[in-house]
Chain A
Amino acid sequence: MADLRCPNCGRDNPNFLDTCQFCQTPLKPESTLHTGDSPVKKDTGELEPILPQWLRDMRQQARESAEEDAAASAAQPKVRNDPPDLLAGLASQTRDEDNDVPDWLASINPSPKIKPEEPPASDSPADFFSQFNKSTPEPAPPQAEEPAPSWMSGAAESPRVEEEKDELSEWFSKAAAEPDEVVEIEQEPSSGGMDMPTFKIKEPEPPKEEEDLGWLRSLEATSHQPGGQTAAPESEFARGGDEPAQPTSEGGEDLSWLNELGGLPASAPAESTPSSAPVIEPDLPEQGHASAAQSDLSWLDQLGSFDPAAAQEPEPAAPASQETPDWLNLPDVPAQKFEEKPAEDLSWMQSFGEKEDVASAEEKASQFSPRRTGPLDAGSAEDSMPDWLKSATEEPSMPPPGALSEWFRETDASASDEPLLSQPQPGAPQNVDSILSDDLPDWFSSPEPGEEEKPASAVPSGDSLAPVDLPAWVQAMRPVESIVEEAPSVESQPTEREGPLAGLRGVIPSAPIGSALRPKPVSLKLQASDEQLAGAVILEQILAGETNPKPLVTTPLVASQRVLRWMLSGLFIIVLGAMIFLGTQSMPVSASLPAHVSSVSSTVANIPPGSSVLVVIDYEPALAGELEAVSGPMLDQLALLVRPRLSFVATSPNSSALVERLLINTRLSLPQPNGLDYKLGADYFNLGYLPGGASGVVEFVESPVSALPSAGVGSFSEYAAVIVLTDHSESARVWVEQLDARKQIDPSLANQPLLVAASAQAGPLLQPYVSSRQIAGMVNGISDAARYEFVNNSRPGIARRYWDSFGVGLLMAIVIITIGSLWSVVAGIRARRAEAEFG
């Protein structure tokens, strides 16, 4: 950071100091800004004497040219629009840098070095125009040695700047190099064989003629005058990084910061208005002076949506309002009309343009003539500078920013009465001044003649403004003032009566704090029709239904299942346990035997006494209770009547262990008188497990001894009868089928009866074999067994013990299934209805 030079004592101070460390003079205007100071509009006309001479000359020329076009320019109205866009950006920018002096302000603070003979304006720390008098610390290299970028090729035509550095241009360049810059630039290889990047803005170069910003051309033309040495600052953008400083061709190039200031994206007009957008071609020198001279002012074309091409060419310019901000969407004035009134509001600038025309001829003669926008040499500066600039040249320090505001305000005032923009025409080129008057803060507006109120200043005599004062346009950039539409004057504010501020007035603004910082409310409500709103409501409902998690029904369902199971189990256990424990036998048993049961009884009675009977244990331990009850009366009758030798064979591994249990529960193996005293190895034989399934059955039927060596019989026909105790119809069917097949082969088996004691689930499937007499008789389930027992004198009585519990259990099952099914139907309907409601 460069040191700040005290405007009072002229000594250098560190940049971070607010006041001079030697004389305590405020170094920065912000440091003297008091809270509560309302923005004060300055009459910058009084700053004219402090302007450099060359600027005063330019101003004078502008006045003269403005007078020539006064009629036309006076008819141009000032179109006012809401300026919040620009101000909001400035305000936010100001807020961010509230405690920091902007670089551009800091850079204009030091006193120029080029004119040490003139005493520095100690009372004007923010001498804006003094930067034009500053010389660059190091001279810019000549164009021939280091060519400028192609887009700066116009600079090659400009004279080499050596004396001063144009800090204003540097500031402009910094502004132009901000990241918001969206001008599409193509980097092209340097034409001069150097590594300098060339930039090409993809926009047609607008003609420089008919510019209403002639004042800037005047600046440029002045710089082109012989001997005129203007410090041509090189922007950061133009340097392209580490490139050394290059002389700029036009000062207007560096003014592209105004594009940023207005929030106008440079690429927007490049897309929408290609004909009016500036193009900086790498081969700019070959395009002649006109195009080269215009490139520096192209930012103003964008700013005002002015279509220079329309001014020169018959085809109208493309509208630029689509891509530009609102504050720039001013109706374009037809180019033809603009040509007729070139000066209009900025007539004094037009004079610069005329000078530019004059200077262009000189540029044609010598395109490499140095150009300066800073202080010119004595002779030329005195001639070309307007009066208001002359004083600036004389003064070592730049005028306060407030002076610049006045300067702009003056131009604005001249443009306020322009009639051409009173009726804005779409597509017409806009006047820059109208934009400034509409969208820029009040420091661009016309001055207030009656403005007398000035804050307390410490400006020494001889200076227009006190160093502690901020210009109005800078104050307007402050957050509060930029938003408060009309800050109350100090007189209108109450005087403090208490506290340290007693007696002071206007120290604390009366504007509401907080709400003042609030931006203007912008209605975000969509203008939608009722139908659209209804559709939106439906869509919201759909989305809400999609996003809302559906409640999981599995957990309560599982819980209810578990509870229901426990309830069912508990109910059965309690009721049936009580029935078994009580041993009730209240339910009568029918004495009539079914046909298949009576067949069993008759078959048993016909078995020869003392013969061998094969008993097949074909049930699992789980059904042992049922099968023991079912087979009990048949085995009891058989043992009582015939007392055969029983041979037990099991068709499952576990069944062989059930033989003893069967004989005990049927009381066959129990000693008399409770049982029949069957002895293992004498009266019955446990042959064990017969593996192989159907193959084992086939083999056992064909050769019992080969299948089971413990069979004890040589032929299957030695068994007088075969009794199958089964809980599986399939396994029983195997025995039925194999025996039937064997009977067809071995006639000795023809009279061998097959009796079956089946569980309730297997019996119905074996019923066809009973009907076909392949099974001589069958006891099916507890129901048949109870009847059989009743006929068999209630022996062994197993089925009868189960009979009451069996009946109650069936009744409970019927009731539960019926009620539960009905409840399931109702619950299912409710669930489906609920699902339908929730979608």
Chain B
Amino acid sequence: MIGLGILVFAAILLLLITIWRRRTPATLRSIDAYERLNREVGLAVENGTRLHISLGRGNLFTSRGGSALAALAMLRRIAERTSVSDRPPIVTSGDAVLAILSQDTSQSGYRAAGAEEQFRVTAGRMTGLSPFSYAAGTIPVTRDENVSANILIGDLGAESALAADAADRQDASLIAASDNLSAQSVFYASAQDPLIGEELFASGAYVGAGASHEASLQVQDVLRWILILAMLGGAALKFLGFDF
């Protein structure tokens, strides 16, 4: 019930802050990776190059689906912004459900921009069902599709180092974030501006996906402080001899 209480509290807080943020947009701290992401989106449209957005292997039936949903929210916004480009972004994923959702999300982004005819179903691809087959399938996209920026966001493992290395070989920009700690350590060594921890879930807010994403960040902060206080309090009680 504690979990349900936290869930309800978070839901109420999210709705309230979302309504508030629709009136007064939040001021977000600067994250170099997302600033570069916005810049790369604009450059790709101007240069006539592609964006490669990799959503990872996040199965929506697992907890890793959260990162996949966050990546889909970002994809929706990027698809809308790049709909004017001659070369639409290519979305790769390592999960079948995620691949279908990526196609649906891209199409909705094009529709919102009034360029639904630009959408191609093959822009959303499933490149492999296993981690390494998925990584191996993304390497040709980076190499052959005139990609200027690779955006790896989602549930990615250590195998994403291959995709990062392919981007480095093609001298393409790399923006990477994962909910996997192994992948984060890999990206820390491979990417110029790695995204650590829950910064992945801030992608929607930084690409202008809406007030709800900004509100999510604030709710996360609130819940984080609550958890910090709870852990410190529990440790103190445990230290004082209270058993619970």
Chain A interfacial positions (CB closer than 8 Å to B): 554, 558, 561, 620-622, 652-654, 692-696, 728-731, 733-734, 761, 765
Contact = CB atoms under 8 A, between A and B. Distances in A.
Contacts of A561: 168-169
Nearest to A652: B130
Contact of A558 (B62, B65, B171, B180): B171
List the 10 shortest-distance A-B pairs measured between CB atoms, nearest first: A693-B61, A693-B62, A693-B59, A695-B61, A694-B62, A622-B132, A620-B130, A761-B182, A692-B61, A654-B130
B64 interface: yes
Contacts of B63: 694, 730, 733-734
Contacts of B60: 693
B180 A730 contact: yes
Contacts of B131: 620, 622
Secondary structure of the B side of the interface? loop
Contacts of A695: 61
12 contacts: A554-B171, A622-B131, A653-B129, A653-B130, A692-B61, A693-B61, A696-B61, A730-B63, A730-B180, A734-B62, A734-B63, A765-B181
Contacts of A734: 62-63
A730 B132 contact: no
B139 interface: no
B157 interface: yes
Contacts of B132: 620-622
Nearest to B170: A558
A653 B134 CA distance: 13
A454 to B, nearest CB: 81
B196 interface: no
Contacts of B157: 728
B182 A621 contact: no
A654 B158 CA distance: 18
A103 B37 CA distance: 76
B169 A694 contact: no
Contacts of B159: 622
Interface in B97-148: 129-132
A654 B132 CA distance: 12
Nearest to A621: B130
Contact of A730 (B62, B130, B168, B171): B62
A654 B129 contact: yes
B129 A761 contact: no
B209 to A, nearest CB: 25
B140 to A, nearest CB: 18
Interface residues of B, number: 20
A696 B60 CA distance: 12
A620 B133 CA distance: 10
A694 B171 CA distance: 38
Contacts of B130: 620-622, 652-654
Interface string B173-184: 000000011100
B95 to A, nearest CB: 9
A817 to B, nearest CB: 10
Contacts of A730: 62-64, 180
A640 to B, nearest CB: 32
Contacts of B182: 761
Nearest to A655: B130
Contacts of B158: 761
A694 B61 contact: yes
B201 to A, nearest CB: 16
A620 B63 CA distance: 19
Contacts of A621: 130, 132
Interface in B180-216: 180-182
A554 to B, nearest CB: 6
A734 B59 CA distance: 13
A765 B171 CA distance: 34
A620 B62 CA distance: 17
Contacts of A728: 157
Contacts of A694: 61-63
A765 B61 CA distance: 21
A834 to B, nearest CB: 20
Which of A622, A693, A695: most chain B Cβ within 10 A?
Answer: A693
Name the residue among A653, A730, A733, A761 with the largest chain B CB count within 10 angstroms.
A730
A694 B157 CA distance: 18
A568 to B, nearest CB: 12
Contacts of B64: 730
Contact of B62 (A622, A731, A761, A765): A731
A561 B62 CA distance: 38
Interface string B58-74: 01111111000000000
A621 B169 CA distance: 26
A180 B169 CA distance: 65
Contacts of B169: 558, 561
B243 to A, nearest CB: 15
A839 B159 CA distance: 39
A761 B157 CA distance: 10
Contacts of B61: 692-696
Q: Which of B61, B62, B158 counts the most A-chain CB atoms under 10 A from its CB?
A: B62
Nearest to A764: B181
A616 to B, nearest CB: 14
Nearest to A558: B169
B93 to A, nearest CB: 15
B62 to A, nearest CB: 4
Contacts of A693: 59-62, 65
A654 B182 CA distance: 22
A558 B65 CA distance: 36
Interface in B8-38: none
A613 B187 CA distance: 38
Contacts of A653: 129-130
A765 B185 CA distance: 13
Given A693-B60, A728-B157, A733-B63, 11 more contacts: A620-B131, A652-B129, A653-B130, A692-B61, A693-B61, A694-B62, A694-B63, A696-B61, A729-B181, A731-B62, A761-B182
Contacts of B171: 554, 558
Residue of A620, A653, A733, A765 ringed by the most chain B CB atoms within 10 A: A620
Nearest to B131: A620
A210 B62 CA distance: 111
Contacts of A696: 61
Contacts of A558: 169, 171
A821 to B, nearest CB: 11
B45 to A, nearest CB: 23
A655 to B, nearest CB: 9
The CB with the most chain A CB atoms within 10 A, among B60, B130, B159, B169, is that of B130
Contacts of A761: 158, 182
Nearest to A561: B169
